[in-house]
Amino acid sequence: MKTQVCIIGAGPAGLLLGHLLRAEGIDCVVLERQTGDYVLSRIRAGVLETITVELMERLGLDARLKAEGLPHDGFNLADGERLIRIDMQELTGGHVVVYGQTEITRDLMDACPERGLDVIYEAAEVALHEVEGEAPYVTYRKDGREQRIDCRFIAGCDGFHGPGRKAIPAGVGKEYERVYPFGWLGILADVPPCNHELIYANHARGFALASMRSQTRSRYYVDVPLTERLEDWSDERVWDELALRLGPDAAAHITRGPSLEKSIAPLRSYVFAPMRHGSLILCGDSAHIVPPTGAKGLNLAASDVHYAAQALAAYFRRSDNDAIAAYSDKALARVWKSERFSWSLTKLMHRFPEDGPFERAMQVAELDYIASSRAAQTTIAENYIGLPV
């Protein structure tokens, strides 16, 4: 098979890139290791920045997002009994939309047949070849047969563990990494949210987040040491912990219910640079990971594919190589700012095991400053709604 761009991975990054390229009349094929059902079974964060909403609008795939997404003008930082509201609308004129990121994947997946986006699921042993030249190709195994796709570019949208980034020869790239000493234990339940906006809480017992998917479905998190085992966390124990950490006001409004899903996810900050090598372009989690504090994962994938689609369109329309050459620097400039914000919000809202009284005093001072300064609140608000692309 021959195509212009072979995309590896049918997560949000790969599907969004595929649709953007199809909208430009560029031929592409998406190769995914898993089944579509498996991809949709992954529970992800639920906050969309303006760029993500705009891309769905541009593609004309925003009908469900518009109907079911909840625009949020503000969110809250809790510190014990104090609640600091960040009024994004008033401070920046912007807002975020609360809509499950898994639902974005579903909307993109459902639109594939009508938009002529070819996705090959259950593609095993995907391997990238000749990425340094102008005629790369990808091999994979499907239904027991070896297959080959020749293309002009390969887009590695295959997440943190995929083969894309690993096809870049050792010594070419640089890795930047910070692993955190805790994970987030998440619970999803069909109960109304305890508050109409999100609450990120820093409590002596640890971090907690009250989030939602709709008026009837809630998503909550508490941070736990990495040594913690899920089976030691009954639903009741999670609800008890949330009630303690989120503060008395929220606790009074928590509705408990059985968990639909419960899992522990480790936290990591990671960047691989450059995000392009020869004919291979990396987008999304294949090039970077953020801790979930701030919900930047999918939104960063969206800005990457926006830049990648622009660069690929310039190449196929005008043989413009400069846009391809500029992709990595352009994407990384925004990636680093999101990494900084996710890291700083994580530092501000979690109790690190190595922290002593001094570090805690710094958190209190920073929260006091945020509570009293419009400038500080604006900084947080403009990062939360998403920096310009």
Q: Which of residues 45 and 51 has its CB atom nearest to ligand PHB in the complex?
A: 45
From the candidates 12, 19, 72, 140, give the one annotated as an active-site residue: 72
The distance of closest approach from Cβ of residue 251 to ligand APR in the complex, given in angstroms and rounded to an integer, is 28
The site partner of 183 among ligand PHB, ligand APR, none (C-beta below 5 to 8 Å per kind) is none
- Rounded CA-CA distance 29/15 in Å is 10
From the candidates 19, 296, 330, 350, give the one annotated as an active-site residue: 296
Closest CA to 219 of 98, 82, 348, 96: 98
**235-238 CB contacts, 8 Å cutoff, 24+ apart:** 235/187, 235/189, 235/259, 235/262, 238/185, 238/187, 238/262
- The residue type of 177 is E
From the candidates 99, 137, 200, 315, give the one annotated as an active-site residue: 200
The site partner of 46 among ligand APR, ligand PHB, none (C-beta below 5 to 8 Å per kind) is ligand PHB
Q: How many residues of this chain bind ligand PHB (CB under 6 A)? A: 11
Q: Tokens 């085992």 label which residue? A: 229
Q: Which of residues 97 and 335 has its CB atom nearest to ligand PHB in the complex?
A: 97
The distance of closest approach from Cβ of residue 331 to ligand PHB in the complex, given in angstroms and rounded to an integer, is 21
CB 182 within 8 A of CB 173: no
Strands in 124-129's sheet, in edge-to-edge order, are: 124-129, 137-142, 145-150
- Rounded CA-CA distance 296/356 in Å is 29
Question: Greatest CA span in the chain, whole angstroms?
Answer: 64
Binding part of the chain for ligand PHB, among 39-47, 134-142, 157-165, 366-374 by CB under 6 A, reads: 39-47
CB 243 within 8 A of CB 295: no
315 in active site? no
72 in active site? yes
Residues that bind ligand APR in the complex, under the rule CB under 6 A? 8-14, 31-34, 39, 44, 101, 123, 126, 157-159, 161-163, 284-285, 297-298, 301
Q: Which of residues 85 and 178 has its CB atom nearest to ligand APR in the complex?
A: 178
Given 8, 45, 123, 282, the residue binding ligand PHB (CB under 6 A) = 45
Binding part of the chain for ligand PHB, among 41-49, 154-162, 225-233, 371-379 by CB under 6 A, reads: 41-49
Restricting to residues 279-308, name those near ligand PHB by CB under 6 A. Answer: 292-295
From the candidates 12, 193, 291, 292, give the one annotated as an active-site residue: 292
Residues 6+ positions from 31 with CB-CB distance below 8 Å: 6, 7, 8, 9, 10, 120, 123, 126, 138, 140, 149
Residue 250 CA neighbour count, 13 Å, CB half? 31
Query: Is 219 an interacting residue with respect to ligand PHB (CB under 6 A)?
Result: yes
The distance of closest approach from Cβ of residue 296 to ligand PHB in the complex, given in angstroms and rounded to an integer, is 8
The distance of closest approach from Cβ of residue 10 to ligand APR in the complex, given in angstroms and rounded to an integer, is 5
From the candidates 140, 315, 327, 384, give the one annotated as an active-site residue: 384
Could you please report the per-residue DSSP string of 131-195? TTSSS-EEEEEETTEEEEEE-SEEEE-STTTSHHHHTSPTTT-EEEEEEEEEEEEEEEESS--SS
Q: Which of residues 16 and 254 has its CB atom nearest to ligand APR in the complex?
A: 16
The distance of closest approach from Cβ of residue 355 to ligand APR in the complex, given in angstroms and rounded to an integer, is 27
CB 201 within 8 A of CB 246: yes
The distance of closest approach from Cβ of residue 241 to ligand APR in the complex, given in angstroms and rounded to an integer, is 24
Q: Which of residues 9 and 278 has its CB atom nearest to ligand APR in the complex?
A: 9
Closest CA to 302 of 371, 364, 386, 359: 386
Q: Which of residues 123 and 381 has its CB atom nearest to ligand APR in the complex?
A: 123
The site partner of 12 among ligand PHB, ligand APR, none (C-beta below 5 to 8 Å per kind) is ligand APR
Sort strands 47-48 and 70-72 into parallel, antiparallel or unpaired: unpaired
137 in active site? no
Q: Which of residues 79 and 304 has its CB atom nearest to ligand APR in the complex?
A: 304
The distance of closest approach from Cβ of residue 331 to ligand APR in the complex, given in angstroms and rounded to an integer, is 12
Cβ-based burial of 45 (10 A; exposed 0-12, middle 13-18, buried ≥19)? buried
Binding residues for ligand PHB (CB under 6 A): 45-47, 198, 209, 211, 219, 292-295
Q: Which residues are catalytic?
A: 72, 200, 292, 296, 384
